[in-house]
Amino acid sequence: MDKGFCTDRAGNRFIRPQNSSFIVHFDRRSVFVSLRTHVPEKLLQLNGETRTVEATNDSKNLKVYLYFTEPVLNTSTEIMKSIRVSRGLLRPINSSTLANRRFGYQIEDVPVITVVTVGLNSSLVISRQGVAVSPVSPATFLYDSTRPAVKLRTGSKMRTRDSSIIVLIKFLKPVFGFNSSHVSVSGGHIERYAFLIIHGCT
């Protein structure tokens, strides 16, 4: 502590009166952290089961944010060093920290197809109360920037007298958000009760 801490601007020492009080704030509450990504969640059917997966093809979505329930003492650079990322490198995002409660990072230099897992070594992050932050589960998502291959096949021959033709659309890997509005037909139209079959292959 500075020698002149208990003096005024003129150098006169403060005198503590007899009825003065000294208050100590004692707080041992746990400090929690939420690890969030900007990768959207999708519903995917695999082996007859519907699962929720996080997947993106947009590098702008490769962001991770840490939200703490209480302010922490660490800097953005120190917290970045405590983050474990399986692929790629981290770069701090210049945004408001909400009084050292929120920190954001961009994941860069990621391969075109990869599964990324982001985790935090919470024991290295210290709260304002002086206690380490509670552990948090890692986040895992798929990044795939390649265009999926697709095959079209009909049950009819090159020439047919049938007025209705079933077309099979087969994607070589799972796709999201596909529907009949993405199909264009020349020389006919999609009937009301026509259907599309979409196969996802792992």
Parallel, antiparallel or unpaired: strands 63-68 and 33-37: antiparallel
Q: Which helix (H) or strand (E) holds 76?
A: helix 76-81
- The whole-number pLDDT of residue 2 equals 53
Which of the residues in the chain have pLDDT under 70? Answer: 1-5, 155-158, 192-202
Q: CA torsion sign, 174 to 180 to 182 to 184?
A: positive
- The whole-number pLDDT of residue 170 equals 80
| Cα separation, 199 vs 202, whole angstroms | 10
- The whole-number pLDDT of residue 4 equals 56
Cross-strand partners of 89: 108
pTM: 0.67
| Cα separation, 15 vs 8, whole angstroms | 11
Domain residue ranges in the chain: 33-144, 147-202
Instruction: For 91-102, write each residue's pLDDT tens digit.
Output: 999 988 899 999
Domain 33-144 has CATH 2.40.50: no
Q: What are phi and psi of 195, to 5 degrees?
A: -140, 160
Instruction: For 119-146, write each residue's pLDDT tens digit.
Output: 999 999 999 888 899 999 999 999 998 8
- The whole-number pLDDT of residue 157 equals 67
End-to-end CA distance of the chain: 64
